[in-house]
Structure 1
Amino acid sequence: MKKTKDENTEEQILEAAKNVFQSKGMDGARMQEIADKAGINKAMLHYYYRSKQQLFEAVFKNAFSLLAPQLSAVLNDDSSIEDKVKNFTSNYISFIVKHPYLPNFIIQELNRNPDFILKLKDNPSFPNLEKFKIQVNYEVENGIIKPISAEQLFINILALNIFPFVAKPLIMAFTKADDDAYKTLIEDRKTEVANFIINSIKHV
């Protein structure tokens, strides 16, 4: 009789894999450990996911599919650039606090497999910058914000939001922060980053 894949089992596997990848990284993770954490045997794990790479991509896509629509909605709504900066920053940080493995997943996978992002671009909810570009150009031309390209502004937003998560151990060492202090720093970033960017582009 042909086996069928059970949704609950698959969810257990993805949750277990997420936890192992988060603590051990892609290279340090072992399929046996993921199977043990999911409460299944290794043969069952391989039935659902033939390789660690396939499982890694499934975990990544699952998390990205939750984040991408939020960011896409912010970029494509009718709010001002100032509000977009605030909402993008707040939404991104809130999401990554719940999924702290995601930024390092992105960096690791892009370094190991640069073509991986091409698979994500096929996702219908992959953020589209076209409306953002039009809005930035409009606000620059009308003197609402200082001259800046939409691409440079978007990179600034991404960089200031992503780096504190990617460089968590470094930041904790420099600031002598424990876990609680780091969490407070990150929560404060929601307003600090937004205000920093807005003040840099806004006409006084």
Structure 2
Amino acid sequence: MAKANKNQDTEGEILEAAKNVFQKKGMDGARMQEIANEAGINKAMLHYYYRSKQLLFDAVFSNAFSLLAPELNKVLNDDSSIEEKVKNFTSNYISFISKHPYLPNFIIQELNRNPKFFEKIQKNAAFPTLEKFNNQVANEVKKGILKPIEGQQLFINIISLNIFPFVATPLIKGLLDIDDKGFKQLMEHRKVAVSEFIINSIKK
């Protein structure tokens, strides 16, 4: 039992170290030796758990995605109104990415490097589905609750407004002349700002 716990602890330390290195260097720039050093283990031990950098990358991403996907699905597929969905999605997404700031660039870098990466993500059983969201948007438009808009377009708007500050963090911090603390505060305020902007744009 103690050995199993130790193995789990070591693997957790490896994933945390890999996350930090991938965040700084990207997939291509990261080196297994650097990850081993970050985790405080030798390279042979690292290869015992993960034979290749790609397997380690996949594990880091899968670990983060497994946390995010259920939250997104819960928001998209619950019975709340579109207005509540916008609020909940924005709040949940910003909170999650604030804890995993490497993830947006992580995904974009990998999509550019390996276009088939998205196909792998999409096969995940927890991959968020938009069917209920799209139908609900159409129904609320029909009832006169929302201005005419397609669910897909609304979802893109929500994603775009939420993801851009994290993809362009250095640019945002530079243009607004803020430090890490200021950026975190800005993102907290953005939970409300984005929700209100979108809701005001779509509600009749």
TM-score by length of 1: 0.94
Which aligned segments of 4 or more residues in structure 1 are displaced greater than 6 angstroms? Answer: none
Query: What is the correspondence of 1:1-204 to structure 2 with a 5 Å cutoff?
Result: 6-203=7-204
CA distance, structure 2, for counterparts of residue 18 and residue 74 of structure 1? 26
CA distance, structure 2, for counterparts of residue 60 and residue 30 of structure 1? 17
Residue type of the alignment partner of 2:170: P
The number of residue pairs the alignment matches comes to 200
Deviations 1:32-53 (A, max 9, x none): 1111222221112112212212
Identity of aligned residues (%): 72
Q: How far did 1:23 drift?
A: 2.1
CA distance, structure 2, for counterparts of residue 38 and residue 182 of structure 1? 28
Q: How far did 1:174 drift?
A: 1.1
SS in 2 for 1:6: helix
CA distance, structure 1, for counterparts of residue 203 and residue 14 of structure 2? 47
CA distance, structure 2, for counterparts of residue 182 and residue 127 of structure 1? 28
Consecutive unaligned residues of structure 2, counting only runs of 5 or more, are none
Q: How far did 1:58 drift?
A: 1.1
CA distance, structure 1, for counterparts of residue 33 and residue 20 of structure 2? 14
Q: CA RMSD in A?
A: 1.4
CA distance, structure 2, for counterparts of residue 66 and residue 179 of structure 1? 24
SS in 2 for 1:64: helix
Residue type of the alignment partner of 1:191: V
CA distance, structure 2, for counterparts of residue 111 and residue 84 of structure 1? 30
SS in 2 for 1:143: coil
Q: How far did 1:99 drift?
A: 0.6
Of 36-45 and 106-115, deviating more is: 36-45
Deviations 1:73-130 (A, max 9, x none): 0000000000000000000000011111001111111111111111111222110101
Consecutive unaligned residues of structure 1, counting only runs of 5 or more, are none
SS in 1 for 2:128: coil
CA distance, structure 2, for counterparts of residue 69 and residue 145 of structure 1? 27
SS in 2 for 1:11: helix
CA distance, structure 1, for counterparts of residue 193 and residue 177 of structure 2? 19
CA distance, structure 2, for counterparts of residue 109 and residue 144 of structure 1? 39
